[in-house]
Amino acid sequence: MIFYKKNMQLYSNIIGDGKPFIILHGFLGMGDNWKTLAKQFAEQPFQVHLIDQRNHGRSFHSDIFNYEVLAEDLKEYCDKNNLKDFVLLGHSMGGKTAMLFATRYP
């Protein structure tokens, strides 16, 4: 069972224009940890979305925290931002979130 509260939105910093490229940080990190590389990717050109996952950075905090809800948060973010064809990269916790997301929403 997935426990997910609607109307809670992830914070993101979007850099550049081009094909969407989503980067998910690791545990205890935040999207801004990837800002230097995001600027380089934006020159390719990509529109880089540096997302703060739930309970991290400037995103909302919740008692519910597992990979299922992290993947659902990402799905809602993509839906709200009309992102359908994008590059997805994750580090550590973000990598596990990305893998689960990819299996649920190929």
Q: Within a domain: residue 49?
A: yes
> What is the predicted pLDDT for the residue at 1?
39
Domain that holds residue 63: 11-104
pLDDT tens digit at each of 106 positions of the chain: 344 455 589 999 999 999 999 999 999 999 999 999 999 999 999 999 999 999 999 999 999 999 999 999 999 999 999 999 999 999 999 999 999 999 999 9
CATH number assigned to the domain comprising residue 100: 3.40.50.1820
Taking CA atoms, 13 is separated from 33, 58, 105, in Å, by: 11, 10, 23
Containing 21, the helix (H) or strand (E) segment is: strand 19-24
- Count of domains for the chain: 1
Does residue 16 lie within any of the structural domains? yes
